[in-house]
């Protein structure tokens, strides 16, 4: 039987409802902000993505599904939406309709990723673009829209990071200073970053390798090099976000290496997702349309990974249903002085741990059942013989392992064990 492609999962009938709900909410919110839907083909000329995404990017170098069609033309399945959308915008002269055009696109994108957790070869995005204005008010409204959308989906605990990456007037000075700095740390950088230094140096700032991170941590920061116009623009964006009471953190590492990206960049992170934790991100790209051969068209946009949103919502729902496994249950086996058990329980509680003991004289088996039911991470079992030797038994209620530890050290040791762990 022929199987589907890894990293390109089917969305089965019992899942499609969630996708429909997600997209219905998105359309509803986007409509309120005056955005209209555009649908472009899922494949384009390869050249569009090489110019629109940039040659020295992982997407273009390693991840595109590129093929020659029967006519010998090189075509590529879209790895992201912005280039296609801007191509269509310029080709159909949509600028003639309004000085600020608001468009969105929902659909599948394709990248040859390693299908590790959270990465797909066919994945889905909601892509949003506000085209035609350089104004800081547009940036603030776009961030507010994304914030609103995540809230409308019910996503909690996300963090907003913002930054300004300058423009062609000021970034070259920074690039020079940054390269001069990197030159002194060449040996500490990974091979990828050596390539980045020649093609796309700012991307060294978001390299995940520990050596590169250490170098980046003490590098000169872009904020010190912004020209007055960029500085004012960023201050205005932040001022508007403050006015809207949208919390954010300025993250100087939030960069995009390509020349056509300018000024505002932003990202919403869900710390609960682990290493692939960006749920949505975007920025201003005032130079992109020119790069594609069109007129100057200052624009800003963002893309949201639908899979990441659904994963976040599912994890959230699960966490809400099941309380975490934490704390210590103090159990007694046989005739044991209840005062010892009570004192130990009180000590654990004072040290900040959730703790309970049996107040009803149940059997050890009954106590263990209760400890599991109440989702305790560990139990301390007090037996008369062990206590006589100053020992108690520590049992891992998740893994099942148990061993004796000195009673006098029990409370201290338990405060240092991994308290919170989902089974």
The binding site for Zn ion (CB under 5 A) comprises 166-167, 169-170, 190, 193, 207, 209, 212, 227, 230
Q: Of the two residues 109 and 216, which places its CB atom closer to Zn ion in the complex?
A: 216
* Rounded Cα–Cα distance for residues 273 and 312 (Å): 7
Compute CA distances 334 → 257, 270, 357, 360, whole Å: 68, 48, 14, 13
Minimum CB separation of residue 250 from Zn ion in Å reads 16
Q: Of the two residues 166 and 287, which places its CB atom closer to Zn ion in the complex?
A: 166
Q: Of the two residues 166 and 383, which places its CB atom closer to Zn ion in the complex?
A: 166
Minimum CB separation of residue 15 from Zn ion in Å reads 37
Pairing of strands 65-68, 36-37: unpaired
Minimum CB separation of residue 189 from Zn ion in Å reads 5
Q: Of the two residues 207 and 280, which places its CB atom closer to Zn ion in the complex?
A: 207
Minimum CB separation of residue 400 from Zn ion in Å reads 42
**Residue 349: count of CB within 10 angstroms of its CB:** 15
Compute CA distances 291 → 57, 314, 422, whole Å: 16, 40, 49
* Rounded Cα–Cα distance for residues 250 and 59 (Å): 26
* Rounded Cα–Cα distance for residues 324 and 15 (Å): 26
Q: Of the two residues 138 and 170, which places its CB atom closer to Zn ion in the complex?
A: 170
DSSP conformation letters of 94-121 = GGGT-SSEEEEEEEEEE------TT--S
Compute CA distances 297 → 99, 169, 288, 352, whole Å: 10, 17, 8, 57
Q: Of the two residues 170 and 357, which places its CB atom closer to Zn ion in the complex?
A: 170
DSSP character at residue 343:
H
Alpha helical stretches, state H, 130-188: 136-152, 171-183
DSSP character at residue 322:
S
Which residues of 192-297 form beta strands (DSSP E)?
249-250, 262-269, 278-284
* Rounded Cα–Cα distance for residues 136 and 129 (Å): 15
Minimum CB separation of residue 205 from Zn ion in Å reads 10
Minimum CB separation of residue 121 from Zn ion in Å reads 25
Minimum CB separation of residue 293 from Zn ion in Å reads 24
Q: Of the two residues 227 and 398, which places its CB atom closer to Zn ion in the complex?
A: 227
Q: Of the two residues 206 and 396, which places its CB atom closer to Zn ion in the complex?
A: 206
**Residue 375: count of CB within 10 angstroms of its CB:** 18
37's CB contacts (< 8 A; 6+ apart) are 27, 30, 103, 104, 105, 106
Minimum CB separation of residue 299 from Zn ion in Å reads 17
Alpha helical stretches, state H, 273-337: 288-291, 306-321
Q: Of the two residues 126 and 193, which places its CB atom closer to Zn ion in the complex?
A: 193
Minimum CB separation of residue 313 from Zn ion in Å reads 33
* Rounded Cα–Cα distance for residues 226 and 221 (Å): 10
């Amino acid at each position: 039987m022929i199987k589907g492609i890894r990293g390109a999962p089917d969305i089965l009938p019992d899942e499609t409802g969630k996708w429909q709900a997600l997209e219905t909410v998105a359309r509803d919110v986007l409509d309120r902000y005056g955005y209209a839907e555009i649908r472009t083909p899922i494949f384009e000329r390869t050249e569009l993505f090489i110019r629109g995404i940039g040659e020295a990017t992982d997407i273009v170098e390693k991840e595109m599904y590129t093929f020659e069609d029967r006519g010998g033309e090189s075509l590529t399945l879209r790895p992201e939406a912005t280039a296609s959308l801007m191509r269509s915008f310029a080709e159909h002269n949509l600028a003639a309709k309004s000085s600020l055009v608001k468009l969105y696109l929902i659909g599948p994108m394709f990248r040859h990723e390693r299908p590790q957790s959270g990465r797909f070869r066919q994945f889905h995005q909601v892509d949003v673009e506000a085209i035609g204005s350089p104004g800081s008010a547009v940036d603030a409204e776009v961030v507010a829209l994304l914030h609103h959308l995540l809230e409308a989906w019910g996503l909690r605990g996300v963090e907003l990071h913002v930054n300004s990456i300058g423009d062609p007037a000021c970034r070259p000075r920074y690039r020079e200073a940054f390269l001069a700095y990197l030159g002194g740390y060449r040996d500490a950088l990974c091979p990828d970053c050596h390539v980045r230094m020649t093609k796309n140096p700012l991307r060294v700032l978001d390299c995940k390798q520990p050596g590169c991170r250490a170098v980046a941590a003490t590098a000169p920061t872009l904020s010190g090099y912004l020209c007055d116009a960029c500085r004012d623009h960023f201050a205005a964006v932040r001022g508007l976000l403050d006015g809207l009471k949208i919390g954010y953190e300025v993250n100087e590492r939030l960069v995009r290496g390509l020349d056509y990206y300018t000024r505002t960049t932003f990202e919403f992170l869900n710390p609960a997702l682990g290493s692939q934790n960006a749920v949505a991100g975007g920025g201003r790209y005032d130079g992109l349309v020119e790069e594609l051969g069109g007129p100057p068209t200052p624009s800003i946009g963002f893309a949201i990974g639908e899979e990441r949103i659904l994963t976040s919502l599912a994890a959230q729902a699960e966490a809400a249903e099941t309380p975490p496994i934490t704390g210590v249950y103090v159990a007694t086996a046989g005739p044991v002085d209840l005062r010892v058990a009570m004192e130990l329980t009180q000590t654990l509680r004072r040290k900040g741990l959730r703790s309970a003991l049996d107040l009803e004289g149940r059997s050890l088996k009954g106590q263990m059942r209760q400890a599991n039911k109440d989702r305790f991470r560990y139990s301390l079992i007090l037996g008369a013989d062990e206590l006589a030797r100053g020992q108690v038994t520590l049992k891992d209620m998740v893994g099942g392992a148990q061993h004796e530890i000195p009673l006098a050290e029990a409370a201290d040791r338990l405060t240092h064990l991994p308290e919170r762990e989902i089974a």
